[in-house]
Amino acid sequence: MSTLSQFGPAMVDDIITSVAQAKGKRKNVDYVFLGYKPYPAITILAMGTDFRVPFPTDYYGTKLDEIPPMRDVHNFAQMKGVVALGAGNVADFWIQYGQAKYNFPLALGVTGVMASDYYPYLQSGQIFGLLPGVKGAAEYEQLLGKLGAGSEGMPYQVAAHVVILIFMVLSNIGYVAQRRARAAGR
């Protein structure tokens, strides 16, 4: 796994370390964390040639050829699939510069507000999966039968949406009242 965001390495390292410990998985045996490189398009294109071009070592400084799971893995052709989790335009980079050029199976996990932009890729088969925000994470956890952070976050998301709706209703009531007051004052 890698990150294409400068804010990602420490967060990813923390998450994968805690998940690996909980599942009894070992670094550079059960998983590999390549780290971060800038310029997502260039990094993805280089990974399509050979992962060693942008990532000669993993995040921890170990050469890729010294990591058993990476010895015979050089590019996307040796991958069964890629799952890209992110916000902003990172998903676009994976579609445009990765999947479209190298034709590997791609699934995306994006923020809820971004999801509608990616359903056409799912419907056309260009991506094989889409995890739309907290709601998607909660649904995925339900499918697995293992509730976690996604399911825990749903009550907060629902509460935030209810508050937004209340403010919208109050704003409209205020707007209508203000228009009536102006009309009555004429």
123 within domain boundaries: yes
The pLDDT tens digits of the residues spanning 22-34 come to: 999 999 999 999 9
Which two tokens mark 172? 């409209």
pLDDT at residue 81 in the model? 94
C-alpha triplet 182, 185, 186: angle, nearest 5°: 95
Could you read off the pLDDT of 122-134 as tens digits, one per residue?
999 999 999 999 9
Give residue-wise pLDDT tens across range 69-90. 999 899 999 999 999 988 888 9
Residue-wise pLDDT tens digits, 157-175: 999 999 999 999 999 999 9
**Averaged over 138-163, what is the pLDDT?**
92
What is residue 127's three-state secondary structure?
coil
In a domain, 38, yes or no: yes
C-alpha dist (Å) from residue 186 to 176, 179, 180: 16, 11, 10
Question: Is residue 99 domain-resident?
Answer: yes
143 part of a folded domain: no
Domain containing 49: what range?
A: 2-134
End-to-end C-alpha distance for the chain, whole angstroms: 67
Any domain includes 179: no
pLDDT for 5: 84
User: How many domains, the chain?
Assistant: 1
Angstrom distance (rounded) from CA 76 to CA 101? 10
What's the pTM value of the predicted model, to 2 decimals? 0.81
- 8 Å CB contact between 34 and 25: no
Note whether residue 180 is domain-resident.
no
pLDDT of residue 80: 93
Residue 60 DSSP code: T
Residue 69: inside a domain: yes
Residue 46 lies in a domain: yes
SS3 115: helix
